[in-house]
A and B are shown apart, each in its own frame.
Chain A
Amino acid sequence: MSTAGAPSAPTGTPAVSNAQAFWRRVTSGDVGSLPVIAGLILIWLVFYFLNPLFLSPRNLTNLVSQIADIGIVSVGIVLVLLLGEIDLSVGSVYGLASAVTAVLSVQHGWAAAPAIAAGLLVGAAIGTFQGFFYTRFRIPSFVVTLAGLLTWFGAQLHVMGEKGTINLDDQTIVQLAGLFFPPSVGWSVAAIAIVVLGADLAIRRRRRFVAGLPQGGLVGDLVKFGAIVAVILGATAVMASDQGVPLSLLILLGFVVGFDLITTRTKFGRHIFAVGGNAEAARRAGISVNGIRIAVFALCGTMAAAGGIMGASRLLAVNYNSGTGDTLLNAIAGAVIGGTSLFGGRGTVWSALTGALVIGSINNGLALLSAASDVKFMVTGGVLLAAVTIDAVARQGRQRAGV
């Protein structure tokens, strides 16, 4: 970054080309989603060479429906990580919410919508409660949600009562993870997504032009747009050639796109980044720091509940083990592997999707190779360590470039 002797280009065109600017961003530690995409391609290639079935349409469709629940939980985790906080209770909230929904649906005969709403409400209430404790008593979120991890797991056991397993029979709940759309619907959704993306790009460029602001490089924008279009078309083609597009994937994508818009284009989202970047500065700027924190914990709890209901739908049942084991760790690992910083203020909601894809691919690929849990855990651990190392190194790079 140039300092005092900067060329006098106060409002004119950027002094460097976009390629240079991009490279400088990368070297100064703003690596974005590049490492995770490179890692994902590498993982897919490795598994493909070990077992070509890995990249078959059937297996890839399985893969995306397997990651829906963890991906949804990860969306909430990303929001909390953006604040520089952590929520360790998401696994237990996942289990408790799915238990509440299952008990209301199966034992009390509630319709699907109110049963699901009750589960989500439990998640929202828990998140609000934990956010309140964290802000009001200034207990580190780590500890508050660690207490939550134990408490809500106990509540899950209590809600389920004597029955160790509740089998879901409500068709609507089961369809959440079980429904596959025919190719015509898949292609229509893909077409709409591409049109909306293209229109958004064109409108944004047009608005900057009208406002007399310098444009980013058209080539770069088009390359990025082209890559996204290729991914959408490729994914649709793969899924259309097998069972179709799973509803669970569309729900996950809906959450990711929705929260991406909230975090990057709304005042609320800007304030999340501000609190995560410098809470004191946010407070002095008149932002209700504690309000933002409580809202984010409430959203994280709600997303954990949504993930739990999605997971119950996929397994067609809720049991004592729902949400235990690696649910929590995979959700956090996914967000971090996807490139969201543990140190707050840096990241994107898309890392929930990319991170879940990485973890899902490892689990799925190792299962195809008939590897046991021991290998699975060790490989996932290694990938997580690699991801946080990239984050930490990038942070050092930022500090070097920053000062």
Chain B
Amino acid sequence: MTETGGWPGGHPPTAPTGGPPPSTATDRQPILQLRAISKRFGAVQALSEVDFDVYPNEVVALVGDNGAGKSTLVKTIAGINIPDTGEIWWEGHHVAVHGPKDPAALGISTVYQDLALCDNLDVVANLYLGREEVEPPVLFLSEERMEQRAREVLKSLDVKIPNPRNPIAALSGGQRQSVAVARSVMWKAKVVLLDEPTAALGVAQTKQVLELILRLRNQGLGVVVISHNLANVFEVADRIVVLRLGKRVGTYDRKSASEERIVAAITGAEFGKFQPEA
């Protein structure tokens, strides 16, 4: 197998059946491993034999052209797509994923591009949406406790919201993205998937969100970022995985890869070099 990037040892081979896939990184154990994932939609082979690892304490960027399979792969991790073949391993154990609730229970959370926030509710209510805390005697919401915790979480992520009792409608795009990310990590998440987190943001707000991504990494999470913006990717990613036409064509260490190299991999200019059969 040819491997160009500086990632130690290249990407691991397909797992042998009956045991956990061997970890190739000597010092670290991947928290999430996908092995030989394939998914077909009718006549379209969206993913074929894709391997994908996420380590704690790292940002891995998933890049590729439209239709390369980025979204399909993320939806597979999020449990929205069930792969036709392939295995998913979590903390060294083979896990079965039947729906979105399974990855969520493991500690994988996803922030989609539409953020899924309720504009009419305030920041606290959005952070606790679906997990509201109530107090036993009359089962009223315990607003004070929720607000306290919400403020703590926002502070620990250094998300600056003037007043967490303001409705989401009153926030800027970057603040909304930050609230969505804060919500995803509030509930013991270990891996966070971010779908185009900077797509609709201005320069200052993009910077806010990129800094937030780095803080998540520094708190020990594994962060997967889908992005079209290679400048942003190079700013935050430790590792860059390139998909093309449903196949993984390369994994690159950010420090040693150049932007031209990634673009070449995305567009297939070096396609032949990465074919395992070639």
Contacts and interface: CB of A to CB of B under 8 A. Distances in A.
A3 B169 contact: no
A280 interface: yes
A2 B162 CA distance: 8
A93 B119 CA distance: 33
A9 B160 CA distance: 8
A348 to B, nearest CB: 12
Contact of B205 (A3, A21, A271, A402): A3
A8 B147 CA distance: 18
A294 B111 CA distance: 29
B179 to A, nearest CB: 12
A287 B173 CA distance: 25
B163 A402 contact: no
Contacts of B120: 273, 276-278, 345-346
A398 B117 CA distance: 16
A1 B121 contact: no
A403 B169 CA distance: 8
B117 A213 contact: no
Interface string B29-52: 000000000000000000000000
A267 B121 contact: no
A10 B154 contact: yes
Interface in B13-67: none
A6 interface: yes
A274 interface: yes
A84 B247 CA distance: 44
Given A211-B144, A266-B139, A284 B119 contact: no
B168 to A, nearest CB: 8
Nearest to B158: A10
Contact of B141 (A212, A213, A267): A267
A280 B158 CA distance: 28
B269 interface: no
A281 interface: yes
A158 interface: no
Interface string A46-57: 000000000000
B170 A28 contact: yes
B118 interface: yes
Interface string B134-162: 10000111001101100100110011111
Contact of B147 (A211, A261, A265): A211
Interface in A251-297: 261, 265-267, 270-271, 273-274, 276-278, 280-282, 284-287
B132 interface: yes
B129 interface: yes
A380 B151 CA distance: 46
Interface of B: 114-121, 125, 129-132, 134, 139-141, 144-145, 147-148, 151, 154-155, 158-163, 166-167, 169-175, 204-205, 207-208
For the complex of A and B, 4 pairs with smallest distance between CB atoms:
A285-B130, A4-B204, A277-B118, A345-B120
